[in-house]
Amino acid sequence: MRPDNRKGSLRTAQTGIMLAILAAALYALNAPLSKILLDYLPPTLTAGFLYIGAGLGMGAVAVIRRARGTSDCEKKLTKAELPYTVAMVVLDIAAPIFLMYGLKSSSAASGTINGYAREKKDGENANPETDDDRVSLPPSSDDR
């Protein structure tokens, strides 16, 4: 058994948390920056740029792993996992393309909850007491 290296384990956990926050921040920038690019580029090319960015990022990870000597620490894919891997690749190619077409065909306002509330203003979710575009929430169980 290996001794528990709590200091190294804590550092690894902190690094993982910071990388997860960085990934979430970069993912959050995806839609607004893509919306800007879509004014100048077709949706499929914009989706391709997402893959170029991901490839560059994974290339940097591979270089860092080789420099640290940890490049061979992952298990190899088995034949049983091949159908799932192919399905994942196909869906992973289609998803950003559909995302870019969706961003291209919608306005920024229609993607927000405020845009949704404006479309539903005369519907059952509208707040009859106000004349503005604020979102009205359904009554809670305490209000009924």
Q: Where do the domains of the chain lie?
A: 10-119
How far apart CA 26 and CA 30 sit, in angstroms, is: 7
Residues 97 and 41 sit within 8 Å (Cβ to Cβ): no
In the prediction, which pLDDT does 26 show?
84
What is the total residue count of the chain? 144
In tens digits, what is the pLDDT along the chain, a chain of 144 residues?
A: 444 555 567 778 888 899 899 988 988 888 888 888 898 999 999 899 888 988 898 899 889 888 888 766 678 888 999 999 999 999 988 988 998 998 888 876 665 555 555 555 555 555 555 545 555 556 655 555
Q: Is the full-model pTM beyond 0.75?
A: no
In the prediction, which pLDDT does 88 show?
92
